[in-house]
Structure 1
Amino acid sequence: MDQQVKRVKRELVKNGAILDIYTDTMQLPDGKLEEWDFISHRKGAAAVVPVRGDGKILMVRQYRNAIDRMTLEIPAGSRDSVTEDTKVCAARELEEETGYRSDDLTRLLSLKTTVAFCDEFIDVYLARNLKPGHQHLDEGEFLDVEAHDIDELCQMIYDGKLQDAKTVSALLAYKNLLNQEKNA
């Protein structure tokens, strides 16, 4: 496509705790103007696939207001600042949410969650060699920790029971890594 879409104007609609919401005026290739919504996730985030010694993956079950139901997800959270290393964030979220620590974190993948209207990115890490630590949830955070087999979790994805994008992406990437390791 030779023609470009161009942002003509960006107006802040709402300044939130972790998100800023904007209305962008966009000029389309045919010259027409349209208003598009844009959400800026100011800090970015990190997530972690915590694998116990028995191969089970620690997951967190929590209520999500946007979809008005409980979800089963990998542990994740926003960075404390735009300069915080996502690996540090992943390690912190692992202990905060599950009560386990790991010095064996490797980046599994990076993703943009919803490119149509939001710039949020999440770096996802694999945590092995878990050690007991101390769970310390954020104020207002209520969740349960569960352990599941990767095949069980993949079946939940295919059955439509797991729909969180970061969790689906991370679990399928981890399953692929296991297959590569098995065939190496």
Structure 2
Amino acid sequence: MQQKLAPWRVTGSRITYEDRWLKIRTDQCETQDGRVIGSWHVMEGSPWVNVLALTEDRQVVLVCEYRHGIGQVVLGLPGGAVEKSDESPVAAAQRELLEETGYGGGQFYEIGRSYPNASNQNNTLYSCIALNVQKIHNEQNLDEGEQIEIVLQDYDSFAQMVWSGELATQSLYVATLGFASHFLAQQK
């Protein structure tokens, strides 16, 4: 008979690093069969959103920005942390899109949820889609360290570049694109 899995029992926990952007918790755990897990590091983080925003003529509103972790400038989706003042992930998507790109309006939908790295991160990614967005203003309200160029690209060509591997992008953008593709197919 197969044994059912159960969550580990946490026998000790402490915060080993914390700053404005990152908190690392180190847990000592025990599995259901009694094995001791000495130190398991968990990055605690806020939930965040990515938004695939489409203009009326199916142009995707993309952001081009430097990502220091890989030392490259990459193309991606607008997004950011869901703040305590946000009423919902959709409200966070609306705020982030406007702050980073100046685009807004239209219809916003939450289309999926995923865990960025459930092994050692505790946050949730909310994937959203925005339909029929338009340029509201030219100002950007960027976070410290952000420099963003706005790029518009045809949805079908963007999707093809991602699916073919031609455009290397963050894996969570791929999740949002997958949710968006499913959502759009059901709208036809």
TM over 0.5: yes
1:5-154 matches, cutoff 5 A: 5-34=8-37, 35-41=39-45, 43-81=46-84, 84-134=87-137, 135-136=139-140, 137-154=142-159
Residue 156 (structure 1) aligned with residue 161 (structure 2): yes
Task: Give, in angstroms, the shift of residue 167 of structure 1.
Answer: 0.9
Aligned to 2:4: 2
Q: Is the 8 A contact 1:58 1:147 kept in 2?
A: yes
> Secondary structure of 2:69's match?
helix
Q: Would the aligned equivalents of 1:105 and 1:127 in 2 still touch at CA under 8 Å? A: yes
User: Do the aligned residues in 2 keep the contact of 1:162 with 1:168 (CA within 8 Å)?
Assistant: no
Change over 3 Å in CA distance of 1:6–1:176 after alignment to 2: same
Q: Which moved more, 1:158-167 or 1:58-67?
A: 158-167
Distance in 2, Cα, partners of 1:82 & 1:101: 19
Partner Cα separation in structure 1 for residue 5 and residue 119 of structure 2: 19
The unaligned stretches of length 5 or more in structure 2 are none
Instruction: After TM superposition, give the deviation of residue 82 of structure 1 in Å.
Output: 7.3
Match of 1:175 among 161, 173, 181: 181
Tell me the TM-score normalised to structure 2 length. Answer: 0.86
Structure 1 pair 105/3, CA: closer, same or farther in 2 (3 Å)? closer
Residues 154 and 172, structure 1, Cα contact 8 Å, conserved in 2: no
**Structure 2 CA distance, aligned partners of 1:20 and 1:63?**
23
Q: Distance in 2 between matches of 1:84 and 1:17?
A: 22
Tell me if structure 2 keeps the 8 A contact 1:109–1:123.
yes
**Structure 1 residues 181 and 104: alpha-carbon distance in aligned structure 2, compared to 1, 3 A threshold:** closer
Give the percent of matched residue pairs that are identical in Structure 1 and Structure 2.
Answer: 24
Cα distance in 2 for partners of 1:81, 1:173 equals 25
- Name the CA distance, whole Å, in 1 between partners of 2:74 and 2:67: 7
CA deviations 1:111-157 (Å, max 9, x no partner) are 21111100121222211121322332223210111112223222222
Work out the CA distance in 1 between the residues paired with 2:86 and 2:133.
26
- Secondary structure of the structure 2 residue equivalent to 1:177: helix
Structure 1 position 165, deviation (Å): 2.4
What is the distance in 2 between the residues matched to 1:132 and 1:181?
A: 24
CA drift at 1:79: 2.1
